[in-house]
Structure 1
């Protein structure tokens, strides 16, 4: 009987999650995070949108580091182009970013200041060289007290070729999709 009840609860949770409207929203400078975002979108059959800066970063590593450090020191975050999707229309937002300086990339600061995530479930996902998912998730929880920020997914840049497999495993484990 206990197994039956647990099975029904799991089935209901999966059905509820799949009935929710999901958005994959991401910032990617080099394309690595975009790869993960597109894989999430494909496997979830969700809407997707890229976060874009009005003045893009150059893509030059050293210049990006210097600009990013200036922005962090001054707390003057990059201006963003308007989103075409409305966050209010979604129940779950998969929020993706590369890790910069141990946390989410600077354009995410702007996004969090400009958009209302109240009542949303936010699933962070990130790409990184060495670490950052836990620190960035904690920072998101502090920045979005009116949202439910759940444990997310991180993929080391060196493992990007495994994105399809690892995203699928994450989504199944967290019950965002069935087998």
Structure 2
């Protein structure tokens, strides 16, 4: 994601941001998942390993890559969705995303995964926001214990590649085994099938 100079806007004033954080933290404290989605089939791939593909996509780019992975690999797939959508205007979203990152704020989710215990491998997708995972994905990662799990990130970007997502993944999931990540430019997601296939082969994952 391109970096911008911060500006306060009418759509996201300091007061509304603080209010949003307060409300969001309260919602998480009361009920971490306002509505959860369980991926129920837990189909086994790659030598009996059960795979979960979980991702957040604002523009649709990460969704395209996630669906390409799902087509090639199988397993279960869940799209994270926030209770309050991000602004439609790109600049406003970048400003909100930067504030959330600085505040270590995780927006409440209306769809997520309430139980990751059945899965051996979790593929985590996100757009690159300020060099790392989008806040909804960071929130998902912070909610679960990934001890003994294998996790691999896939990131869509416009020049920042994986950024520091791998390092942040190791911090958020210290007891997991972190596998190599995949970075796909937003403008190339429609032709990413070959890159996805090569990546899954490097991870030794297949149907």
Give the distance between the partners of 2:73 and 2:101, measured in 1 at CA.
34
SS for the counterpart of 1:161 is: helix
Dislocated runs of 4+, deviation >6 Å: none
**Is residue 2:55 matched to residue 1:29?**
no
Structure 2 stretches lacking a partner, 5+ long: 1-44
SS for the counterpart of 2:82 is: coil
Residue 82 (structure 1) shift? 4.3
Change (3 A) 1:84 1:142: closer
Q: Deviations over 1:43-70 (max 9, x none)?
A: 1111100011111112320110121122
Correspondence for 2:83 among 54, 62, 68 = 54
Task: Tell me what 2:177 maps to.
Answer: 148
Count the aligned residue pairs.
Answer: 164
**Is residue 2:163 matched to residue 1:139?**
no
Change (3 A) 1:28 1:119: same
Residue 84 (structure 1) shift? 4.6
Task: Tell me what 2:101 maps to.
Answer: 72
8 Å Cα contact 1:30/1:59 also seen in 2: no
Change (3 A) 1:18 1:30: farther
Task: Tell me what 2:71 maps to.
Answer: 42
Structure 1 stretches lacking a partner, 5+ long: 1-15
Give the distance between the partners of 1:155 and 1:111, measured in 2 at CA.
22
Mean alpha-carbon deviation: is it higher for 135-144 or for 66-75?
66-75
Task: Tell me what 1:115 maps to.
Answer: 144
8 Å Cα contact 2:64/2:190 also seen in 1: no
SS for the counterpart of 2:47 is: helix
The structure richer in helix per residue is 1
The alignment's C-alpha RMSD in Å is: 1.9
TM-score between the two structures when normalised by the length of structure 2: 0.73
Give the distance between the partners of 1:61 and 1:82, measured in 2 at CA.
23
8 Å Cα contact 1:49/1:85 also seen in 2: no
Change (3 A) 1:20 1:128: same
Residue 166 (structure 1) shift? 1.3
